[in-house]
Amino acid sequence: MYNLLKGKKGIIFGALDESSIAWKTAERVHEEGGVFVLTNAPASIRLGNITALAEKTNSQVIPADATSVADLENLVEQAMVILGGKIDFVLHSIGMSVNVRKGNHYTNQNYEFTEKGWNVSAVSFHKVMQVLYKKDAMNEWGSIVALSYMAAQRVFPDYNDMADNKAFLESIARSFGYFFGRDKKVRVNTISQSPTETRAGTGVKGFGGFIAFADKMSPLGNATAEDCANYAITLFSDLTKKVTLQNLLHDGGFSNMGVSQEVMEMFE
């Protein structure tokens, strides 16, 4: 390990179980010397195994609904008390589509479900940053990262309304990132990750074929949850102090491919 995060303090949203990117990131932050609080919605905490992660990383869990400003205010205030000061890094690893869960096609959405998914997956990122900004809770040269996906720019039919949510998420990162950078010297970025075998990812229709296709298209193959955690560590560190307002493609090269020989061979 490199001690890249020694002395740094943060908040990690969304760790659910051992397959989640937030979980892997928490483990890597701990290995690199960082300290943090873990948070998730109360229902997700009950469904997952976050207490085991907290014990492993010597961290505390603060339940919070990321769509509730009151919950987020309490989270940030408690985190600064527990950690003994302002925050250096935040990971937003939250996404949910009720339409996907209920099997509603993109052309036949339940709009109440659409709004809930939009609020959880994208607007929550604005709420997190607004609370941090108003409370002046971030140290200068801190780093805020959210997880996105290529469907924000390209059509993946079964990704459904999550594609719209990710596009909105990336726009929020740029727009709020400008003010956070100008006023607080804090950077804000999104990571556009390969399809990854998390609990949320595998809920997408046809995910097995989806991940296999991406792997054959990418010259380096799909980036794993562990790979993404390593990338997030670099963005939390002081090595990337001038990287902000970026949607950073972390996908083994998939995003620049037209077609690969491996995929062509399937049709020849």
Residue numbers annotated as active site: 149, 159
| 233 annotated binding-site participant | no
- Give the separation between CA 11 and CA 90, rounded to whole angstroms: 5
List the structure tokens of 234: 């670099």
| 12 annotated binding-site participant | no
Q: Parallel, antiparallel, or unpaired: how do β-strands 87-92 and 9-13 relate?
A: parallel
- Give the separation between CA 16 and CA 10, rounded to whole angstroms: 17
Residue that has been written with the tokens 């307002």 in this structure: 245
| 166 annotated binding-site participant | yes
List the structure tokens of 135: 């409370």
Q: Residues marked as binding for NAD(+)?
A: 14, 20-21, 94, 166
